[in-house]
Copies of this chain bind each other. A is one copy, B any other.
Amino acid sequence: MAQMSSVYRRLEEGAKRLTPQRELIIKLFLDRPGQHLSAEEVHQLVRQEFRDVGMATVYRTVELLTKLDILRQIRFNDGRARYEINLEAANMHRHHHMVCVRCNRVEEFQEDLLDQLEDRLLRERGFRVADHELKFYGTCRQCDRKQSNMKPS
C-alpha cells in the first residue's frame, strides 16, 4: 500500500521507531479515512488488539504523528481534540466538515473554492496561508426531515 510506505518513510525521517503500538494506531486511521477519532476512541480501538496500552502512549503517538504530518488535529466545539489521517499528503483533495448540531454527525465535502481567496489574502494583506479549516454547523438531511415531520403534529 503506497500510503503505508510513505508513512514509514516519514517516521524514519523523524528518526522514530515503528513500534507495534504506533503501527496499530496508524493502521486504525488508514482503515478509517475520513473519521475523526478522539484520543479516547483511539485508545479503546487499540485496546481491542493490545490490552495494556496506556492513554499516555496514545497521546504521545498522535502528537508525534501530527508533527510528522501523518495525522491532522481538528477541534469541533466539544472541547476535545480529534485526529484524522492527513490524506492530502497522500495526494487526496483537501476536505472540510459539516457538523450537524442535532445528531453531531460530521460529513465532509471537497472544495477548491478557497484557492482564489488565499491568493487574494497574500496580495492584499500579505498573509501567506499554509493551512485552512472550514466548518459548517447546521442540520443534516435526516435531522432536517425529522424536524419538518414534527411540525404538522
Are the C-beta atoms of B139 and A127 separated by less than 8 Å? yes
- Digitize A71-108: 1 where CB-to-B-CB distance is under 8 Å, 0 elsewhere: 00101010101000000000000000010110000010
Q: Copy number in this complex?
A: 2
Is A146 an interface residue, CB under 8 A from the partner? no
Are the C-beta atoms of B113 and A117 separated by less than 8 Å? yes
User: How many residues on chain A are close to B (CB under 8 Å)?
Assistant: 33
The listed residue (B107, B113, B118, B126) touching A136 by CB distance below 8 A is B118
Query: How distant is the Cα of A101 from the Cα of B133 in the complex, in angstroms?
Result: 14
The listed residue (B107, B128, B133, B140) touching A144 by CB distance below 8 A is B128
- Digitize A131-153: 1 where CB-to-B-CB distance is under 8 Å, 0 elsewhere: 11111111111001000000000
Residues in chain A within 8 A of chain B (CB atoms): 73, 75, 77, 79, 81, 98, 100-101, 107, 109, 111, 113, 117-118, 121, 125-141, 144
Q: Can you give 5 A-B contacts (C-beta < 8 A)?
A: A98-B129, A107-B125, A107-B127, A111-B117, A128-B138
